[in-house]
């Protein structure tokens, strides 16, 4: 396993440098390294590494969401909160609805199968969006109108909403007893509970850090470890109590920034260094999940429905920005920057297929959904345009 990690680090760093020289995001190169070394191509990666791949991806995702918390102040959220909430819900809803309606026509799926596909494709990838937005914030690009902060905050909540919707729709499809009213209520409840728990933990942490004054590196390790435990609690409470562990992790950073700004900046700087390694692990492991053969089977109709979903999502973004101070170019940028797919599609793309197989149902729709989910990862790894 150690050899596989070493190979991934070296090859991803080389790929990152090469792609940046071509003015393409380095993460595309890291993704391709994972694809090439993964089990569906050269099979160079240690099976043990692939086994713990989901945990590694989760840890890396936690690092990037913690960075969101340490970058968003209360005053910023007060100014952008309304728009960010609209962006977190409306574009994903419109994208999912468009795919649901078009699926029977383009792919021959039933309406409910198309809804399952829409719930897989509708999520944006914070792991792609957030690092880019943080770089824009550091460069003061769009800072006057707080565009990067708005996109970053919205992307972090979008996933929670889409995953809850996906769970409900898939449950209905395979014949599980799903209370739709409960599922709808669980979205805001999980967010509120996650924020409350995160604020409580953050309030305790900054006081403990004040009293015992551990090194910044130890503080970061404590925050990351607690965040991983919060996500574990989320999974343990699944079906019992809605709780957004990732949002809770973000709230820890938010309250530390609010109460001890100097401490938050120290932790953010350490997380930025941690992200160098976490980014390599995250995108190489996502790439290792990609089956090129399955993606190819999606064909032109698969590409068409992804494009249609992207168009619908862009319309949703436009609706959210009505009445804002953004000009046409900035609105187009938000639409493009708020479209990448990766982590969620890699995580839940195969869930419908597995659920159909477990229920003894025809697996052909699940195979089609998986193929399009894989294709969407490639389709959306495009360069984020400047303005």
The pLDDT value given to residue 385: 41
Question: Is 320 within 8 Å of 87 (Cβ atoms)?
Answer: yes
Is pLDDT of 382 > 70? no
Give the pLDDT band (50/70/90) at residue 331.
Answer: very high
User: Which one has a higher pLDDT value, 209 or 364?
Assistant: 209
pLDDT tens-place string over residues 230-243? 999 988 987 788 89
The pLDDT value given to residue 177: 60
pLDDT tens-place string over residues 127-154? 888 888 988 888 888 778 889 999 998 9
Nearest to 84 by CA among 329, 386, 317, 245: 317
Straight-line distance from the first to the last Cα atom of the chain, in angstroms, rounded to the nearest whole number: 43
Task: Give the dihedral sign, CA 50/352/160/377.
Answer: positive
Question: Is 113 within 8 Å of 362 (Cβ atoms)?
Answer: no
Is pLDDT of 324 > 80? yes
> Per mean pLDDT, which range of 15-19, 160-164, 221-225, 320-324 is the poorest?
160-164
pLDDT tens-place string over residues 179-238? 667 777 888 898 899 999 999 999 999 999 999 999 999 999 999 999 999 999 988 987
Domains and CATH numbers, the chain: 57-387 (1.20.1530.20)
> What is the gyration radius of the CA atoms in the chain, in angstroms?
20
Q: Hey, which bits of the chain come out as E strands?
A: none
What's the rounded Cα separation, in Å, for the pair 288 and 307? 24
> Per mean pLDDT, which range of 61-65, 269-273, 302-306 is the poorest?
61-65
The pLDDT value given to residue 384: 43
Q: Kindly report the average pLDDT of the chain as a whole number.
A: 88
User: Which one has a higher pLDDT value, 283 or 175?
Assistant: 283
pLDDT tens-place string over residues 345-357? 877 888 898 888 8
For the record, the structure tokens of 266 come out as 């120290």
DSSP label at residue 124: -
The pLDDT value given to residue 119: 93
What's the rounded Cα separation, in Å, for the pair 309 and 54? 27
What's the rounded Cα separation, in Å, for the pair 313 and 216? 40
pLDDT tens-place string over residues 76-113? 888 888 899 999 999 999 999 999 999 999 999 999 99
The pLDDT value given to residue 206: 96
The pLDDT value given to residue 381: 57
Beta-carbon contacts of residue 259 (< 8 Å; ≥ 6 apart): 202, 203, 206
Task: For the chain, give the percent of residues with pLDDT over 70.
Answer: 96
């Amino acid at each position: 396993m150690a050899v596989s990690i070493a190979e991934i680090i070296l090859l991803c760093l080389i790929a990152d440098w090469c792609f940046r020289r071509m003015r393409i995001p380095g993460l595309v190169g890291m993704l391709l390294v994972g694809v090439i070394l993964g089990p569906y191509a050269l099979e160079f990666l240690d099976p043990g590494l692939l086994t713990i791949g989901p945990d590694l991806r989760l840890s890396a995702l936690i690092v990037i969401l913690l960075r969101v918390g340490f970058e968003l102040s209360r005053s910023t959220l007060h100014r952008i909160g309304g728009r960010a909430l609209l962006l977190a819900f409306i574009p994903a809803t419109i994208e999912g609805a468009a795919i649901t309606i078009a699926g029977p026509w383009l792919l021959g799926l039933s309406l409910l199968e198309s809804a399952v596909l829409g719930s897989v494709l509708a999520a944006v990838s914070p792991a792609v969006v957030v690092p880019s937005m943080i770089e824009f914030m550091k460069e003061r690009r769009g800072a006057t109108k707080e565009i990067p902060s708005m996109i970053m905050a919205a992307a972090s909540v979008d996933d929670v909403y889409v995953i809850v919707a996906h769970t409900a729709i898939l449950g209905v499809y395979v014949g599980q007893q799903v209370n739709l009213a409960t599922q709808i209520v669980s979205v805001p409840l999980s967010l509120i509970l996650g924020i409350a728990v995160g604020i409580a933990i953050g309030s305790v942490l900054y006081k403990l850090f004040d009293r015992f004054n551990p090194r910044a590196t130890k503080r970061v390790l404590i925050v990351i470890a607690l965040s991983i435990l919060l996500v574990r609690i989320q999974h343990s409470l699944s079906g019992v109590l809605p709780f957004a562990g990732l949002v809770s992790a973000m709230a820890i950073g938010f309250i530390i920034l609010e109460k001890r700004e100097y401490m938050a900046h120290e932790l953010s700087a350490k997380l930025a260094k941690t992200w160098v390694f976490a980014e390599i692990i995250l995108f190489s492991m996502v790439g290792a999940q990609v089956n090129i053969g399955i993606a190819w089977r999606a064909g032109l109709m698969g590409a068409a429905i992804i494009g249609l979903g992207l168009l619908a999502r862009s319309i949703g973004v436009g609706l959210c920005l009505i009445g804002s101070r953004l000009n046409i170019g900035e609105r187009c940028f938000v639409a493009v920057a708020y479209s990448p797919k990766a982590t969620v599609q890699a995580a839940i793309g195969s869930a419908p297929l597995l659920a159909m197989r477990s229920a003894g149902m025809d697996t052909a729709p699940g195979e089609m959904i998986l193929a399009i989910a894989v294709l969407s990862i490639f389709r959306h790894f495009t360069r984020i345009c400047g303005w």
